[in-house]
Amino acid sequence: MHILITGAAGGVGRLLVPELVENHQLRLTDARPPPDPGGRAEVVVGDLTDRRLAARLCDGVDAIVHLAGNPRPGDGWDLLRGPNMDTVTTLLEAAGDAGVARIVLASSVHAVGGHYQRASGPGAAPVSDNRPPYPCCRYGATKVFAEAAARVYADAYPLSAICLRLGGCRPAPPHRGWLDTWLGVADLGQAVRRALRADIRFGAYAITSANPRPVFDLGAARDDLGYSPTEDPDAYADGLPEGPSTMCRPRMGDRR
Ligand SMILES: NC(=O)c1ccc[n+]([C@@H]2O[C@H](COP(=O)([O-])OP(=O)(O)OC[C@H]3O[C@@H](n4cnc5c(N)ncnc54)[C@H](O)[C@@H]3O)[C@@H](O)[C@H]2O)c1
């Protein structure tokens, strides 16, 4: 498959490219130069909100993995709008016009983070994917926007869209605050590979590793994508320092 990966120089992009480069033809793009995986990928540097660049990037690819964005939940609209909303609309428009078949979009568990406090209380059930989006912050709201925009294009064009509500992705959880939403690299790779192939027109799925005390229900990802995480965050728990949750606490709405 010929795949465009946006945000390839970022933290998630650097982890994902090695997961895909063996079996796919990759076109990597970012505003800053991504690492070159040994001459095995085409690299294009530029601003994804540039329509002409987006058209060029989408030309001839079968699928897109859209990672370009601002991943910081504490940021305000001025820092979020361009990376998380303008890149999405520019890319969707270009992908639709170019006849790209599939976009896999990096959403976030913050798109459903408003459910988190209830779900993480004593005896609470995991947050179900079937619940409506409930962002906990401006960042989460930009991800809900991205999901909604992708759905519009999945209806209007022969472009199917799979939104992955990614948990915190690192090779290992850096502290205990990451344990309940951590996403390991092998599971990230599996989720994206399955999303690229799934026979689904549109969907949005929580994606974390195999947490023994899940906060986000992975049932929809299992059923629709065949996602079956293999990495257990508890394998890293011994000796990990304490740290704050990766989720917003309190939710913005609690600050009134
Ligand atoms: N890091 C995580 O654990 C995590 C968790 C959930 C969701 N996500 C989402 O995954 C995606 C990647 O996250 P990350 O941690 O790799 O972020 P990152 O900041 O490390 O990388 C994002 C990349 O996007 C690029 N970018 C931003 N705006 C651009 C533009 N207009 N044109 C071209 N390139 C642009 C940046 O240069 C950067 O290299 C983001 O959409 C983020 O919201 C990340």
182-202 per-position pLDDT tens digit: 999 999 999 999 999 999 999
pLDDT in the model for residue 127: 84
Give residue limits of the domains in the chain: 2-236
Q: Which option is the CATH number for 2-236: 3.30.420.480, 3.30.420.10, 3.40.50.720, 3.40.630.70?
A: 3.40.50.720
Interval 58-85: pLDDT, tens? 999 999 999 999 999 999 999 999 999 9
CA atoms within 13 A on the CB side of 32: 7
Token readout for 50 is 């540039």
User: In this predicted structure, what is the pLDDT of residue 123?
Assistant: 66
For residue 60, is it left (φ>0), alpha (ψ between -120 and 50) or beta? Answer: left
Radius of gyration of the chain, Cα coordinates, nearest whole angstrom? 17
8 Å CB contact between 194 and 138:
no
Q: Residue 222 and residue 205: Cα distance in Å, rounded?
A: 9
Given a cut of 90, whether residue 214 has pLDDT beyond it is: no
Of 255, 256, 249, nearest to 121 by C-alpha is 249
Indicate if the pLDDT at residue 255 is higher than 60: no
Q: Which atom of ligand 1 is nearest to the CA of 166?
A: 6
Residue 251 has pLDDT above 90, yes or no: no
Pocket of ligand 1 (CB under 6 A): 7, 9-13, 30-32, 47-49, 67-69, 71, 82-83, 87, 106, 108, 166, 168-169
**What's the rounded Cα separation, in Å, for the pair 202 and 151?**
6
- pLDDT at position 249 is 73
Q: How far is the CA of 123 from the centre of ligand 1 (A)?
A: 34
Neighbour tally for 35: CB within 10 Å: 14
Q: Which two tokens stand for residue 21?
A: 């480069």
Which residues are identified as catalytic?
A: 139
Q: What is the pTM (predicted TM-score) of this model?
A: 0.96
Rounded to whole angstroms, the Cα distance separating 139 from 166 reads: 13
Position 65 scores a pLDDT of: 99
Q: Ligand 1 centre from 12 Cα, in Å?
A: 7
pLDDT digits (tens, 9 = 90+) for 169-181: 999 999 999 998 9
Is the model's pLDDT at 124 over the cut of 80? no
